[in-house]
Structure 1
Amino acid sequence: MIPDELDGAKVIKYTSNTLSNKFGTVRIINEQKETIDEIPITAKAICKYEGSNEYYLFSCDLKWEVIGDFDCDSLKEAMEIAKNSNNIKFEDWITK
């Protein structure tokens, strides 16, 4: 179950969280710039910090840990970026 907040930001919308989502991976690299691990992105969430005008498109792992983010000027922009980069359709979003 998704928490109400991720990294202190209120969750507005989110996708299902499953290994079958093909949202890519986040590579963990060492000081020699070698990949030492890859974490699958299993969910996306759009969040907003209190007092901020920006929205954040978070990439999450199976435990809803944020492993990447992208700041957006609007909810619509965040959804468009998710659609263009991960083929997340409007109907795939769940409203919190």
Structure 2
Amino acid sequence: MKAIILSLVTGLIFLSTNCDRQNSEEQMQITGTIESQGITSYQYGTHTLNTEDEFYALKSEKVSLDEYVGKEVTISGSKIEGYPVDGGPDYILVTEVKE
């Protein structure tokens, strides 16, 4: 019984310290134009941010990115760990958008 409780406590500690791993990178700001994302080979993100030199796949849990489609904005966010994949772009978790 003690082993089960110890395992549960250890698991809870592990989960609580690793909940934010997907956005463990530092906050960054990027300026560009937000576009809706269509069908892609890399299949992640809901929108893209196109800059003069690069593009990024975006998602947000706080901001409705649809409100900014076609507009030049500056986003704040962090890279999501484990990306890019399949030749795709960096994946950014957006926390704020400024027009």
TM-score under structure 1 length normalisation: 0.26
Bigger helix fraction: 2
Bigger strand fraction: 1
